[in-house]
Amino acid sequence: MKTLTFNTIGRVILGLALAALSAVLVTLAFPPFNLWFLAWFAAVPALVAQYRVMPRKLSSLASAVFNGGWVLGYLGPVFAGSGLFMEYLWIYVFIISFLADMGNRAFNERTRYRWFVPQGVVGWVGIEMLRSFLPIAGTWGFIAYTLYRQPWLIQPASIFSIFGVSALIMLVNYALGLGALTLYDRYRAPEADTPTPQPVTVRRWLIGAGATLAAWTLLSLLLFRRPTTPTVNVAAVQPGASALLAAFEGLDDKVAAVSAQMLAQTREAAARGAELIVWPEGAMPFDPQVEDRLGLRDLARETGAHLAVGYGILSDAGLRNEATVINPQGEFLGVFGKDHPVTFGGETSLTRGTYPVYDTPLGKLGTIICYDLDFTDTARKLARQGAQIIAVPSNDWSAITYKHYTHLVFRAVENRVTMIKADGSFDSAVIDPYGRILALETLPEGGAATLVTTAPRGTANAPAIFLGDWIGWLNLAGMVFFTFGSGWLVKKAGVVK
């Protein structure tokens, strides 16, 4: 039996350090650090570790440390101390990555790295596509979100959706990773039995990735423009607390105080010219259409504004988490039931499954609620019906203050709609159809805020509205192909093990 030598131990330590470095770089690319440029090469140290530094039998340990590490760095603070199984998500990712990537080094060596880049890209984006189906995941942690403050660079998401942005980032990472392996081999001779990438393969992928990035950037700049549609004065009311949660705790005085706060903020917003005013998720623990305890009909008439308000009713069957819109005549226009309840937190949404869009003098209005913004489908269903402005009542918690609203940048670009997020305490934002953040308040300690700004109507004409997540599906198909077709590719390459 072979024993570990000091040389082997040193390689393992160095490999783990490089993989951990990649995890740190990805974490820093995301908010709140916002070092977005790191996302373009963050995976390279881990790839060098996996395909050169680590011993073959332990090579997938580099992938496990990389993926588990950045999930810990990004989502660890979100669920820390929650008591939910989500606290340990990074461990699950570590184990899955270790097992799933065990054969990747052997495959790429036997095919002389011909498929290194496409296999890496479709593997990453395919996993993102799978995660988008899961109620516990959605689009959280998608590498594309690192670019949320770069609207000049993400406009092709209106064609390729968020999955196209992720694919571009990982194309650059894997092409650079292939180049890094070649440089490694140049300055440190590989082991005698280690196949190396063919120079022509490396050159083609580096040129191809560079050309794709250049073409993408040019297309994005051509698509990035100032809206010429009519504008609407909009407002997001953030009262600093949740009336619904206070009601669940039996804090009637707090419920009354929060209600009074929202009424005052609404009048303030209207005095500042707001024509559409959005309240948070669960802004009241009753159905205002059945019992108008806060006088919302009169408030709409008084302010002359459209009010988009969230409310929740808890029954023995579960929670009705809904939003409605009231016009300036005091009429309720309809009801939207939260499409994606937070099931891992025990939430239900008994009236989900309808997606009303309201014709108003301000344009076509729709609503989604909080966790809906973490999935690509709900806003798209409204945009397909012509929604130009989407109100987003939400009720976040402190740990996601700098993360959650960033998802709306992509929902806005993917659908060419204006998004108005009104949170209970932490992060409210108004985002235009090209991903520009027009107004923002982030208060990790919680607090009240009233955002009022002028926003353009969307056009709801992005190709992605009708094409959907087609790039995600293509990458998922590619991932399945490499999973089950790797043996065929090895035989086709004519390489004997």
Residue type, position 383, single letter:
A
**DSSP states along 46-112:** HHHIIIIIS-GGGTHHHHHHHHHHHHHHHHHHHHTTS-SGGGGHHHHHHHHHHHHTTTHHHHHHHTT
Q: What percent of the chain has pLDDT over 90?
A: 85
**Token pair belonging to 368:** 């989604």
* Residue scoring higher pLDDT (5 or 439): 439
> What's the rounded Cα separation, in Å, for the pair 14 and 309?
54
Contact 388, 382 (CB under 8 A): no
Residue labelled with tokens 């108004």? 430
pLDDT-based confidence at 8, cuts 50/70/90? confident
Per-residue pLDDT tens over the stretch 47-86: 999 999 999 999 999 999 999 999 999 998 888 777 677 7
> What's the rounded Cα separation, in Å, for the pair 140 and 79?
13
Query: Maximum distance among all alpha carbons in the chain?
Result: 84
pLDDT-based confidence at 311, cuts 50/70/90? very high
* CA 439 to each of CA 234, 261, 451: distance values in angstroms, whole numbers, following the listed order: 10, 20, 7
For the ranges 183-197, 239-253, 256-270, which has the lowest average pLDDT? 183-197
Contact 372, 340 (CB under 8 A): yes
pTM: predicted TM-score of the whole model, two decimal places: 0.94
* Residue scoring higher pLDDT (496 or 419): 419
Q: So what's the pLDDT on residue 186?
A: 87
For the ranges 184-188, 361-365, 414-418, 437-441, which has the lowest average pLDDT? 184-188
Q: Whose CA is closest to 306, among 275, 283, 279?
A: 275
> What's the rounded Cα separation, in Å, for the pair 184 and 297?
69
Q: So what's the pLDDT on residue 497?
A: 46
Instruction: Give the pairing of strands 306-315 and 276-278.
Output: parallel
pLDDT-based confidence at 209, cuts 50/70/90? very high
- Look at residue 236 and tell me whether its pLDDT is greater than 80: yes
Q: Whose CA is closest to 90, among 172, 161, 181, 23?
A: 23
Contact 418, 392 (CB under 8 A): no
> What's the rounded Cα separation, in Å, for the pair 456 and 339?
26
> What's the rounded Cα separation, in Å, for the pair 106 and 96?
18
Residue 485: how many CB atoms within 10 A of its CB?
Answer: 13
Contact 429, 408 (CB under 8 A): yes
- Average confidence (pLDDT) over 13-35: 97
Q: Give whichever of 5-9, 79-83, 340-344, 417-421 has the largest mean pLDDT.
A: 417-421
**Token pair belonging to 212:** 């794709």
- Average confidence (pLDDT) over 111-126: 96
Residue labelled with tokens 């949660």? 245
Stated as kind and residue range, the H or E segment containing 313 is: strand 306-315
- Average confidence (pLDDT) over 296-321: 95
Q: How far is CA 485 from the centre of its chain?
A: 30
Contact 115, 105 (CB under 8 A): no
Q: For the chain, what is the mean pLDDT? A: 94
- Average confidence (pLDDT) over 384-409: 97
Per-residue pLDDT tens over the stretch 174-195: 999 999 999 999 888 767 677 8
Report the SS3 class of residue 318: strand
Per-residue pLDDT tens over the stretch 132-168: 998 888 999 999 999 999 999 999 999 999 999 999 9
- Look at residue 492 and tell me whether its pLDDT is greater than 60: yes
